[in-house]
Structure 1
Amino acid sequence: MALLFLAAALRIAACLAWSADLGRDPDAYRGLAERLLDGRGFAAPDGRPTAYRPPLYPILLATVLPAGRWGIATLQIALGTATVAIVVALGRRLGLNRFALLAGAIVALDPLLLRYTPQIMTEVTCTFLSALVLWLTIIVHDRMPRPSANRRATLLLATTLGASFGLAVLSRPTFWAFGMLAGVAWGYEVARDRTRLRNWIGATGCVLLGLGTVVAPWAVRNNIVIGLPVVTTTHGGYTLLLANNLVFWREVVLAPSDTVWGRERLDEWQHSLEEAMAADGIAATDELARDRWMRDQAFDTIRRHPRLFVRSSVHRVTRFWDIVPAGSIPAATRWSVGTFYAVTQALALLALIGIGIRFWRSFKNREPGPEGRRAENGERLAAWVPALLLVIAFTAVHAIYWSDARMRAPCVPVVALLAARACAMVSARRYAKVAP
């Protein structure tokens, strides 16, 4: 409970320190929410139906906008604090025991999550949903081999998992990449546990039911208003081209590592895009055509400059996992934030190595079933798979699409859990040395 009070207090302090951010709208989510409240639907400023942004966050904002800025702050603080609680529960499910509190503390203190708490952006919501989906995944997975588990409760949890994942993809489409990897891993579990095939098929159907129930209305709506059942957004082409254009590559990727693409140069590039699309007969109001045009331009650039693309991918991954904030900030802030991320990421890497070694030993010894793949402290290694797949999926997507440190927010719970696991490993070794 003390940890949750700390998490809430830090987020309240962040909202007070950067209260001006609560009145800004950098990604136009507040504008979408206001038009929803006004009865104009999910629409652009000119009233035209849009699918340029994912719908979940504007819908959440619309529920709290009548309370003004501090209604928004309350939403952000509540989601951030709930994320800490879920990470602690998730850590206990993973066998971290008392170190689950350390994982929660890392999330509570994370500078990125604190800085984005007062900002009207999706980072806090996505991180909450990331932790929720991982927690529900492990709960459902744990119940599958247990004959004593209530089947109806398991199916209800599976449906909730699917619905939660649906909310996640409606907050950030990158979650679809995680879903594909997790689906492959889920299929592997089904194939290797044929004795309970009926349970697995039932749970799979319920996950898909929950997912479809949440996502289908968005796809149907898009098919009606823009002519295509889009389940993501019409923003993907832009983020792909933003990361893969010669101007950015020359001015940032080929420049010193701390170079930031300035607002003036970005505005010039965006203006040149508008001129090029107009010259090709692409209407400013045709989201689908603009999305396709920008996607095609990006792929053409990648095909013509494969070496630069590889170099830019390395640059994007580096930016994704950067330990220091970009731009001009006070030296003390840069040092403290850099130290926090250097330590947590180093610990997470140590835990990854440990998990990799244990997986290798597990498969080498052919220990049967998920119950056979346990660490000495009772931790099931297989339970870490969804968390690791989430990190892999987000890193892979942002190796291709636009990337910066805030994009990794949904991975923060996984990094925290891995860092806590590394501390648990060190503690166990020290205890083993002093034990009689």
Structure 2
Amino acid sequence: MREGQTKSISEGTPPTAKQGSVRRAAVAVFVVALGLRLAFAFAFGGNEIVARFGGNREDPQVYDWAARNLLEDGVLGFRGKPSARRGPAYPLFLSGIYAAVGDAPLRVRVVQSGVDATAAVLILLAVASVAGRRAGVLSGITYAGYPIFVFNASEIMTEVLALMFLAGGMLALFRAVSAQDGRKPSLVWSAACGVCCGLAALTRENLALVGALWAAAMLVAGKATGVRERVCRAGAVALGFAVAYAPWVVRNTIVFGTFMPAGSSGGENLLRGAGLAREGSAFKWRECLSENGLLDYWAYHNPINRGAAFPDEIESDRRAAALAATWIREDPARHVVYGVEKVLRLLIQIEERTGSSGGVLRAGQAWAYRLVATLGVIGAIVLWRRGGRFAVGALALLSLSGWAVIFVVVAWKRYRYVTFDLACVALAGVALDALIARVRARRAADQS
């Protein structure tokens, strides 16, 4: 039996029956997830770039602008000039949709609904490979109905694409560790995991840490495998990541004449994380940028104001990073205390807000998050006790990658990366599976 696999699949069931059952469940989860997302897209998303339910009001316009520039000028940037402020994957994805089916935002939301429904299936398959079919199906259903993910599919934002790549990486990671039919399939799955992590990092650069952490996890994965094989699997993850991510680094280094392992907005993000936006206001750090001659945020990001002077993004990024580092050195205790406060607020959702939707939807998101997070903790305990320690560790590393970035660079108290949600959704299925098994066992005991 594979590491961490439970007895929710009877050992006497033929493999073909198991596979057919999983396929039918995957199709059902895909249909449910797609239906929910399409319904929300038509009801609340509409045909406006900014979703009507009160979504993010800046980034969708920026991504739309970047995609149009890519189609019109053939340049990954703004106003015909190359830029590294945004990762390339989502603008390329968006421009591909525009070229294929038109630039109506509602059509983008329809395509993204299909992408996110695919992610639900990938989660189902990933969890099923380590915890059994029923747990996988329950995780897939949880993903399909999780409000935050449903809302993400209707926003012209990077989360939906990043989630699909992370879900694919999770599936490849678990398959690599549990592969029983030789060394070659294990290495292929490991490389696929690295490629998915690289694509996720090209979508949202704060996700680059996931690839490094999962590569490190391969070094301790599988007690029955030798050190050499574990090193090879870790190397395959790293190689896959490099194949996907290296072209972006090479492009930036050539275009801007300096080595750039990531995008050019890291300094600004670090500046925000230095405590400037302690009250959740985005204007404090923007004013500081302007006062220090770095850049005019609104002139740069507002796609309507195309006549504004284009800033030197490399120099502004360096100066922002230097300024933030100075503040952190002057008062490191404040930065640490504020970082802990941010993480605690996000973990328990004190303000009943997640993401960027508003009103009743915002409160619904927060309570759904609390429920899924609770189930995720229970699922982690259950899976750990059943022997699925590598799966629990990998999902913990996935969560850690997001929280580490939040602690260092993100100052907004209300914003949370999706890695923690994704890990909790995967583990929620394990918790629900254990609950069902316990209820059935009690009923059987009562009947006997």
Pairs within 5 Å for 1:247-262: 248-249=277-278, 252=279, 260-261=280-281
Cα separation, 2, equivalents of 1:31 and 1:8: 27
2:67 paired residue number: 33
2:441 corresponds to 1:407: no
User: In 2, distance between residues paired with 1:273 and 1:21?
Assistant: 34
Mark the runs of 5 or more structure 1 residues left unpaired by the alignment. 253-259, 359-374
Residue 165 of structure 2 is matched in structure 1 by 129
Q: Which residue of 1 aligns with 2:330?
A: 304
Distance between the aligned counterparts of 2:214 and 2:377, measured in 1? Answer: 21
Q: Is the 8 A contact 1:321 1:408 kept in 2?
A: no
Q: Call closer, same or farther: CA 1:321–1:76 in 2, change over 3 Å.
A: farther
1:185 aligns with 2:217: yes
Kept in 2: contact 1:168–1:175 (CA 8 A): yes
1:103–1:413 Cα contact (<8 Å) kept? no
Shift in Å at residue 203 of structure 1?
Answer: 3.6
Distance 2:184 2:321 in 1: 45
Deviations 1:165-196 (A, max 9, x none): 21011111222222232232222348x66646
How far is the alpha carbon of 1:241 from its aligned partner? 1.1
- Percent of residue pairs identical: 24
CA offsets 1:314-370 (integer angstroms, 9 cap, x no match) = 23213433542268943x4455333322222122222334456x3xxxxxxxxxxxx
1:216 to 246, 251, 271: 246
Alignment correspondent of 1:271:
287
User: Tell me, which stretches of 5 or more residues in structure 2 are unaligned?
Assistant: 1-26, 51-56, 296-308
Following superposition, the deviation at residue 64 of structure 1 comes to 0.6
Question: C-alpha separation between the residues in 2 aligned to 1:243 and 1:21?
Answer: 34
Instruction: Report the CA distance between 1:29 and its aligned residue.
Output: 1.4
Partner Cα distance (1:292, 1:381) in 2: 41
Q: What is the identity, as a one-letter code, of the residue corresponding to 2:378?
A: L
Q: Deviation of residue 201 (structure 1)?
A: 4.6
Which aligned pairs between 1:36-47 and structure 2 lie closer than 5 A? 36-45=70-79, 47=80
How far apart, in 1, do the equivalents of 2:221 and 2:28 lie?
38
Distance 1:125 1:426 in 2: 32
- Encode CA deviations 1:115-171: one digit per residue, 9 max, x unaligned: 22221111111111111111101111112xx3x33x444433333222212101111
Measure the CA separation in 1 of the matches of 2:224 and 2:84.
41
Query: Retained in 1: the 8 A contact 2:294–2:319?
Result: no
Alignment-derived partner of residue 389 in structure 1: 397
- Tell me the equivalent position of 2:124: 88
Write the letter of the residue equivalent to 1:391. S
User: Which residue among 193, 197, 207 is the counterpart of 1:161?
Assistant: 193
Q: TM-score, normalised by structure 2?
A: 0.79
Asked whether the 8 Å contact 1:181–1:389 carries over to 2, the reply is yes
Q: Which amino acid aligns with 1:155?
A: L
**Structure-2 residue corresponding to 1:109:** 145
Cα displacement string for residues 242-295 of structure 1 (whole angstroms, at most 9, x for unaligned residues):
12234x22xx1xxxxxxx42xxxx34641341231359xxx9632222112112
Shift of 1:56: 0.6
Instruction: Tell me: CA distance 1:91–1:404, structure 2 relative to 1, closer, same or farther (3 Å).
Output: farther
Taking structure 1 as reference, are residues 305 and 109 closer, same or farther at Cα in structure 2, changes over 3 Å only?
same
Output the TM-score relative to the length of structure 1.
0.81
RMSD: 2.7
Q: Which moved more, 1:400-409 or 1:290-299?
A: 400-409
Kindly indicate whether the alpha-carbon contact (under 8 Å) linking 1:85 and 1:104 is maintained by their aligned counterparts in 2: yes
